[in-house]
Amino acid sequence: MRKSHPVRRAVLAGAATVSGIVLLLSLKPASDPGSAQAAGGQLPPAAAGQAPQGGVNGAVTGDAAQTQYGPVQVRVTMSNGKITKAEAVQTPKGGQSDQITANAVPRLNQAAVAAQSADIDAVSGATYTSAGYKKSLQSALDKAKASAGAAQGGGAGTARTVTGDVAQTQYGPVQVRITVAGGKITKAEAVQAPKGGRSDQITSGSVPRLNQAAVAAGTAQIDSVSGATYTSAGYKKSLQSALDKAPAGGGSSQAAGEGGGREQIGTGTFTGSVAQTEYGPVQVRITVAGGKITKAEAVQAPKGGRSDQITSGSVPRLNQAAVAAGTAQIDSVSGATYTSAGYKKSLQSALDQAGG
């Protein structure tokens, strides 16, 4: 038998070692996040447009997005950093736009709440409206994110007390005061409530439950207490007013105290967008001073025939209600449903322009 040559054995052993090393290297993962970071690379950023987390509460209105058929503007209501409601405060109007808007906007609103971001699908047949909606929605989310960042960076845990406007009810005024800390309602109380006779019993039974509901929900979207419909409605209206005054981040700036004005609302005269109704356009102009609405007037209202009588009876009452409430969350006038709805929509548009 021939003996293997020592040199030949060494060469074969070396070749086997090299082959083993090559095989091991081929099994190494093609991507190594840790090494990418070490080499100066970056991990994929978080998805853009997501609803900001961190306790953002309240309503935030995005910038109006201009489209080929008219402006689109979106307002989102947030609770603990999540979108709980989305609505379009401005949309294209007139002709076929009315039909497209009526079909597309409710679906876009639902999609925004479901997705918790502006990354939503366009509605078929409403390309321009969808694009404007998403753009304004993204603007609202950016504003909410900025407010949340300001709160986290500067005293987010500082408690602030904010008192809502007085809400007049059939049985007396209701006014709510809330304490906000860390972006959450930590306390809610009624500083005014209906009194006298049976109202005492209703108030004592309903207000504590409304207080608890406000703290638990973190918004004014709470259930009414059975048997206390008017008190509940007034409570929610005043609570919403307090939330509107409070910063979206929950205390990042000085909140208005009892009797104080809205520090976020501008001073001057602001004219809302025209709100189209079944009986004609409604447009509202407000004068703001010291953070409060000092004057409200309808510069356009339905005219002709019976509309003249309805307008003359309802508009002065709506003007008074707007000044008293300081918000667009006012009661409709009985018998003037369409005019009231248009008035409130245009009023909200004016408040959005003022920054309220």
Q: Do 80 and 148 contact (CB within 8 A), yes or no?
A: no
* Element housing 289 (H / E): strand 280-289
Residue-level pLDDT at 123: 94
pLDDT tens, position by position, for the chain (356 residues)? 455 555 556 555 555 555 555 444 444 433 333 333 333 333 333 344 566 655 567 788 888 889 999 999 898 888 888 899 999 988 999 989 999 999 999 999 999 999 999 999 999 999 999 999 999 999 888 888 776 665 555 544 567 788 888 889 999 999 998 988 877 888 999 989 999 999 999 999 999 999 999 998 888 888 899 999 999 999 999 898 888 877 554 433 333 333 333 334 567 788 888 889 889 999 998 988 877 888 999 999 999 999 999 999 999 999 999 988 888 888 888 989 899 999 999 988 888 777 65
Strand partners, 59: 77
- The distance of Cα 35 from the centroid of its chain, to the nearest Å, equals 41
Sign of the Cα pseudo-torsion (12, 15, 21, 22, in order): negative
Per-residue DSSP letter, 7: H
The closest of 304, 180, 305 to 250, measured between CA atoms, is 180
Q: What are phi and psi of 5, to 5 degrees?
A: -75, 135
Q: Distance between CA 341 and CA 277 in Å, rounded? A: 8
Phi, psi of 188, rounded to the nearest 5 degrees? -135, 140
Both ends of the chain: CA-CA distance in Å? Answer: 101
Provide the pairing of β-strand 280-289 with 292-300. antiparallel
Among residues 48, 93, 118, the alpha carbon closest in space to that of 281 is found at 93
- Supply the pTM of this predicted model: 0.37
Residues in the chain: 356
For 334, which DSSP code? T
C-alpha R_g of the chain? 29
